[in-house]
Structure 1
Amino acid sequence: MSAAQRTAPRRTRVLAWAGFVAAVIVVAIAAGLLAQSAAWSERGVLDPESAGPDGARAVVRVLEAEGIEVRVARDRAAAAAALADSDATLALTDVPGLSDAALRDLVGDAGDVVLLEPRSRTLRLLLPGSAPAGAFADEEVSPACGFPPARRAGDIVAGELFAPATDGQACYRVDDGYALVTATQDGRSVTAVDGRTLLANDGVDRAGNAALALALLGARPTLVWYVPSPADADGAAPTLGELTPPWVTPAIVLLLVAGAAAALWRGRRFGPLVAETLPVTVRGSETTAGRARLYARARDTAHTAEQLRSAALARLRRILSLGPHAAPAAVADAAAARLSEDPAALRRLLLADAPATDRELVDFSDRLHDLEAAVAAAARPEGTTR
């Protein structure tokens, strides 16, 4: 083999591996772009501009129709600026990224505050004495309190429940918890509700949910709806390396090395492929003749007759449009009906006859052949020829 011939396969393998690596890189880039695009377009729970089941665009549209100016702030600076220059209600979801001081500063400029997804820390800071009650009630509840917005709204569908604040009111009691807790601090009201049950598009139309939502969020001429951003966190966000245990990175590197080694091991070839021809090719007719000679030499007429009968039954089933599992008796009856002959005679031929000699075997084969020909001719539509 010449040097050029030895070099060609090597060049082909190198190009194949290069193409594979390039394809992996392209797929990774495409997946990253798609993920980034999805991240930009995704809307979270209780997003005021989301029309999905978890969004809150429906209640925002109703507030705007009632003349309330709704300002959506997607970072802390925009929320603070909107609160500073207007008499506004602040709709606040859970903000775990803000420190206690930053949360108090943000709330300090609000006229009223409605907590939509309050957690333990938010309740402790803004509604002292209140806390999550650790229960959820998907049932209609009456207000049973003197809080004006709740009395005007009437019954609502309760969601998460809270323990009442130390100095305040609690409405919509279920067992030991309340669906609404409120208190007045420094001239402003701070109210906590389960926004996912009360305001979301898929639940705002239940019972008096919409009425209570409008009463709480539309109490002032402007509503600032703060949607927190990860960039609002007071400190730098931890890196992925800081969040994972120290053994994760070496384990990932080891898995990558093992995968590359396995790819090289299973992908290599010991030389070019060789086309191997079969030593013998036997035609079907030769196989049939050989088996016939074996049957004749063994003088096994019973087995030969059974083979002939089985093949004839299979062909008759197809001619008579019977199923492949039709019983031999059913085949005999169908053939007799088609030929207008005695079913008992055809049943003996297709079920009972057992030739004992070669002469009887030949006669048996001829009768089967004649039966098939007659049934085929009877089953053929009139005016057609073979």
Structure 2
Amino acid sequence: MAAWIAIGVVLLVVGGIGGAISAANQWAAREVLDPASAGPQGMRALAEILRSHGVEVEVTRSRADALAALDGAPATLVLPDAPALSDDAVSQLAAAAKDVVLIEPRSRTLDLLLPGSVASGYAGRDAVAPACELAEADRAGAVAPGALYTPGSGTTACYPVDDGFGLLVHDDDGRRTAAVDGGVLFTNERLAEDGNAALAANLMGRHPLVVWYVPNAADSDLTDTDPSLGELTPPWVSPAIVLLLVAGVAAGIWRGRRFGPLVAERLPVTVRASETTEGRARLYARVRDPLHAADRLRIGALRRLSELLGLGPQTDAGEVADAAAGRTGWDRTAVRGILLDDIPRSDADLVALSTRLRDLEEAVHAAVRPERSTP
């Protein structure tokens, strides 16, 4: 009874530890790029900097709240990647804002809001100068940009590294859309490096209100977009499968055969060992293969000699021959000839080899167990 109680306690402890780890992982995932999080991957420090400069920061966690907050004075929309939203929903959010700052731009968002722009790799940890005619970047100075992008037509690009750029800004009739890797530049643990804080404040603080949208799966406007197997395959596949099934059934009916009655058989059949040995001997004699027969005789002799000499089953045949020669005092070359080297060419040679193998085994037996040897 005590053992079952101990097992139950152990299971409860392990389950509690697993639940705590799972909850911690989920909490860590919620902290990433969250303006209310003070963790390393959160962005609370940036939100407080904006508030200290007189910019109102309103955090919204649903698309409806974000649209309501943007309906009024000119505002900047801070938009992370929102995979739960459709293209129309993302475009609707961006159209309601005066400025849009993409802090985690993916290929889809870039294509929607910065036409022609694409992701193009990742920069190293070295800071680079803006090298562009954008006042916000010039005032911020050098940063280590993280993700790189290739600009589309009419887009200003800053912080060049190789063939990519760390910041894209597109102005369209007074509306501005910027794309930057906020996960590298604007998180709590990296905000104080280089000109990161200045760049963030310059991009997001152009208007008195910042609407920070934090996406979540429950806010999705996507319908069931998982295609069925029939939708993924060409139209002719389903009829072809049906036709193949019908053809298989027809072939089974055409070529199928009924089994006859079961045949009674007495099992098992016992065969004496002497009959098996004689049968193999006749086969070896019929095919005139004395070498193969000699190999079978030698394999049996080597196994028995290895047991007599106390050697392991994996011992090499040459080592068995040397041990047998040393134990009996026979010539080492002669023993190796009996067990390995001599090749019988005829039945007479095979009989002679068999006799020498028997003599060698008897000599080893007499040397190892003299009290049990027979004359």
TM-score, structure 1 as length reference: 0.55
Shift of 1:91: 0.5
- 1:234-255 per-residue CA deviation (whole Å, 9 max, x = no partner) reads x997976777654344345446
For 1:148, give the aligned amino acid: E
The equivalences for 1:242-281 within 5 A come to: 245-251=234-240, 253-254=242-243, 270=259, 276-277=265-266, 281=270
Separation (CA, whole Å) in 2 of partners of 1:310 and 1:292? 15
Separation (CA, whole Å) in 1 of partners of 2:232 and 2:350? 88
* Residue among 312, 315, 320 paired with 1:331: 320
Equivalence for 1:10: none
Shift of 1:332: 2.0
Equivalence for 1:182: 169
Shift of 1:84: 4.7
Equivalence for 1:122: 113
Shift of 1:172: 1.1
SS at 2:43 equivalent: helix
Please, which runs of 5 or more residues in structure 1 have no aligned partner?
1-40, 42-47, 125-130, 379-386
**Is this contact kept in 2: 1:172–1:180, CA < 8 A?**
yes
- 1:83-129 per-residue CA deviation (whole Å, 9 max, x = no partner) reads 45996633154788444xx65542344364123233334224xxxxx
- 1:277-305 per-residue CA deviation (whole Å, 9 max, x = no partner) reads 57964232321245568889999999866
Find out whether 1:143 has 2:149 as its counterpart.
no
* Residue among 29, 32, 40 paired with 1:51: 29
Please, which runs of 5 or more residues in structure 2 have no aligned partner?
1-21, 49-56, 371-375
Equivalence for 2:51: none
SS at 1:171 equivalent: strand
Shift of 1:344: 4.3
Change (3 A) 1:112 1:271: farther
**Is this contact kept in 1: 2:70–2:96, CA < 8 A?**
yes
The equivalences for 1:292-307 within 5 A come to: 307=296
Equivalence for 2:44: 64
The equivalences for 1:335-354 within 5 A come to: 335-338=324-327, 342-347=331-336, 349-350=338-339, 351-352=341-342
**Is this contact kept in 2: 1:98–1:232, CA < 8 A?**
no
Higher mean Cα deviation, 270-279 or 294-303? 294-303
Change (3 A) 1:341 1:193: same
SS at 1:113 equivalent: strand
Separation (CA, whole Å) in 1 of partners of 2:301 and 2:58? 85
**Is this contact kept in 2: 1:67–1:221, CA < 8 A?**
no
| Aligned Cα root-mean-square deviation (Å) | 5.7
Find out whether 1:113 has 2:100 as its counterpart.
yes
For 2:114, give the aligned amino acid: L
SS at 2:311 equivalent: coil
Equivalence for 1:223: 212
Separation (CA, whole Å) in 2 of partners of 1:285 and 1:209? 95
Separation (CA, whole Å) in 2 of partners of 1:370 and 1:123? 95
SS at 1:159 equivalent: strand
Separation (CA, whole Å) in 1 of partners of 2:310 and 2:299? 15
For 1:89, give the aligned amino acid: L
Separation (CA, whole Å) in 1 of partners of 2:289 and 2:111? 91
For 1:122, give the aligned amino acid: L
Find out whether 1:89 has 2:67 as its counterpart.
no
For 1:369, give the aligned amino acid: E
Equivalence for 2:361: 369
- 1:53-95 per-residue CA deviation (whole Å, 9 max, x = no partner) reads xx94588643135555784646x43542454599663315478
Shift of 1:367: 1.1
**Is this contact kept in 1: 2:190–2:196, CA < 8 A?**
yes
Separation (CA, whole Å) in 2 of partners of 1:147 and 1:193? 16
**Is this contact kept in 2: 1:163–1:176, CA < 8 A?**
no
Shift of 1:312: 1.0
Find out whether 1:321 has 2:299 as its counterpart.
no
SS at 1:308 equivalent: helix
